[in-house]
Chain A
């Protein structure tokens, strides 16, 4: 299982990659393994400004729909367009092709409250 050290993580099994004031967000390798085959992404909050921990969409794996949360506050500026036709890229490449949204952060200081790779790995019991 993969826990890239350059990423930040949440207790809700999401990862955050920071580039300037833009955060790219996805679900972790651990989470996709637990969820199983991802069959659908439902992100209806494109263009909206959402606060940290609000729900920005849902993800469906084998018969299970789960909420997705904002790890940081900001405007949802991009949704990965390839997930409509290929949601399984979250299973095959969770940190690359399987990225879910990009957010223009309104309060980058919130990043300090996220976990680093070591802390997240420990949380998952690995």
Chain B
């Protein structure tokens, strides 16, 4: 069991680091980490349907898909993530979240916080959620990755706005998020501390609980390999958006003082298989319908098509692009 010290706050790097370590350290590891403003969606979710795309774009919030199940969470520098990978202990106890969250709960209890597990395998205080948890079971490698968030002093308003999806735009059979009321740990503590002290205390507690023998950071070689995985997987639209199950998209919009309607059918891998745009400007929208068919429903892709036909050369997204997400 190794404790990994991770000073990075790039979400693509951090999610790649988890996957890399799972393949390297089969005896198990613990890692505490933080991300800059990021929405993290569950493996089988429709990423675009889970976010408020305009808010996410305008506030420079990254969107990343993880390899574990469950719903959408928001990370910022007020949130601390813990990853715990352990070998499968008992083949017959298939799901056992308590094995992973009980040491986190006992640490919170030691700070005077009345934390307890919830029915959905989260950590709650009263009826407010402070920690969301998810797992991936690598049954071939006999390893479980458990990870969770700890809302310490996150910007709860920004969190709410980023993952406040606009209803009725997307229709699909993907995994839905269960919205919970959340609160920050910091305001529940008897004695104030900053997130670094909170994190150091949790590290010590987990190191003792799991009998960790070795604490280390990443080697240069490991950092290179993790960055390569981040670039080829976790930074790509193909993984973050394209892995979503198939869906339909509907929206009404206003363009040049006329109203219109958009209807898209999007297959797995984000391939647009049907486009219908109702709007009086047939010259523009006939072209968009024709060119979008067979393209990917990615913001960057749609924006470049729209900019081509509207002769827009600006570096930020075209206003019309937002109507397609």
The answer to whether A62 has its CB under 8 Å from any CB of chain B is: yes
Q: A40-B174, A40-B175 are in contact. Are A62 and B44 (CB under 8 A)?
A: no
Residues of B within 8 A of A40 (CB): 44, 69, 174-175, 245
Contact: A53 with B140, CB < 8 Å? yes
Contact: A64 with B139, CB < 8 Å? no
Q: A40-B174, A63-B69, A63-B70 are in contact. Are A123 and B121 (CB under 8 A)?
A: no
Contact: A65 with B137, CB < 8 Å? yes
Docked complex Cα distance between A42 and B67 (Å): 12
Interface size on A, as a range, is 20 to 34
Residues of A within 8 A of B93 (CB): 34
Q: A63-B135, A69-B140 are in contact. Are A124 and B92 (CB under 8 A)?
A: yes
Residues of B within 8 A of A125 (CB): 92
Most chain A beta-carbon contacts within 10 A, residue among B43, B93, B134, B139: B139
Q: A40-B174, A61-B95 are in contact. Are A66 and B120 (CB under 8 A)?
A: no
Contact: A65 with B173, CB < 8 Å? no
Docked complex Cα distance between A75 and B156 (Å): 49
Residues of A within 8 A of B43 (CB): 42, 58, 60, 65
Residues of B within 8 A of A18 (CB): none
Closest CB of chain A to B69's CB: distance in Å? 4
Docked complex Cα distance between A66 and B92 (Å): 14
Contact: A63 with B139, CB < 8 Å? no
Closest CB of chain B to A114's CB: distance in Å? 15
A residues 58-92 touching B (CB-CB < 8 Å): 58, 60-67, 69, 84-85
The answer to whether A93 has its CB under 8 Å from any CB of chain B is: no
Do most interface residues of chain B lie in helix, strand or loop, or is the interface mixed?
loop
Contact: B173 with A60, CB < 8 Å? no
Q: A55-B140, A60-B69 are in contact. Are A65 and B135 (CB under 8 A)?
A: yes
> How many interface residues does B have (CB within 8 Å)?
28
Docked complex Cα distance between A65 and B19 (Å): 14
Closest CB of chain B to A55's CB: distance in Å? 6
Closest CB of chain A to B204's CB: distance in Å? 27
Contact: A63 with B133, CB < 8 Å? yes
The answer to whether A31 has its CB under 8 Å from any CB of chain B is: yes
The answer to whether B220 has its CB under 8 Å from any CB of chain A is: no
Docked complex Cα distance between A85 and B171 (Å): 12
Residues of B within 8 A of A65 (CB): 43-44, 67-69, 134-137
The answer to whether B193 has its CB under 8 Å from any CB of chain A is: no
Most chain A beta-carbon contacts within 10 A, residue among B42, B71, B92: B92
As a 0/1 sequence over residues 30 to 67 of chain A, the CB contacts with chain B under 8 angstroms (1 = contact) are 11001110011010000000000101001011111111
Closest CB of chain A to B34's CB: distance in Å? 21
Smallest Cβ-Cβ distance to B122: which chain A residue: A63
Smallest Cβ-Cβ distance to A68: which chain B residue: B139
Closest CB of chain B to A27's CB: distance in Å? 10
Which of B67, B91, B120, B140 makes the CB contact (< 8 A) with A63? Answer: B120
The answer to whether A13 has its CB under 8 Å from any CB of chain B is: yes
Contact: A84 with B121, CB < 8 Å? no
As a 0/1 sequence over residues 166 to 197 of chain B, the CB contacts with chain A under 8 angstroms (1 = contact) are 00000001110000000000000000000000
Closest 8 CB pairs of A and B: A63-B70, A34-B94, A66-B137, A40-B44, A65-B69, A60-B69, A63-B134, A64-B135
Return 5 A-B CB contacts under 8 Å, by A number.
Answer: A34-B92, A63-B120, A65-B69, A67-B140, A124-B92
What residues make up the interface of B, taking CB atoms closer than 8 Å to A?
42-44, 67-71, 91-95, 97, 120-121, 133-140, 173-175, 245
What residues make up the interface of A, taking CB atoms closer than 8 Å to B?
11-13, 30-31, 34-36, 39-40, 42, 53, 55, 58, 60-67, 69, 84-85, 123-125
